[in-house]
Structure 1
Amino acid sequence: MSGTILIVEDEEKLAALLADYLKQSGFDSEWLADGQAVVPWVKRHGPDLILLDLMLPGRRGLDICKEIRSFSDVPIIMITARIEEIDRLLGLELGADDYICKPFSPREVVARVKSLLRRTGGRLTASVQGLILDTSRYQATLHGHVLDLTVVEFKLLHFLFSNPGQIYSRSQLMHRIYPDERIVSDRTIDSHVKKLRKKISLAAPDQELIHSVYGIGYKFEASQE
Structure 2
Amino acid sequence: MLTLLQGVHQGNGFQDIPKKCQKAREHFGTVRTQMESLKTKFPADQYYRFHEHWRFVLQRLVFLAAFVVYLETETLVTREAAAEILGIEADRERGFHLDIEDYLSGVLTLASELARLAVNSVTAGDYSRPLRISTFINELDSGFRLLNLKNDSLRKRYDGLKYDVKKIEEVVYDLSIRGLNKEATGGAGFPTQHAYSWIFFPSLSPDLTGKS
TM-score under structure 2 length normalisation? 0.30
Q: Which is helix-richer, 1 or 2?
A: 2
Q: Which has the larger radius of gyration?
A: 1
The structure whose RCO (Cα within 8 Å, separation 6+) is larger is: 2
TM-score under structure 1 length normalisation? 0.28
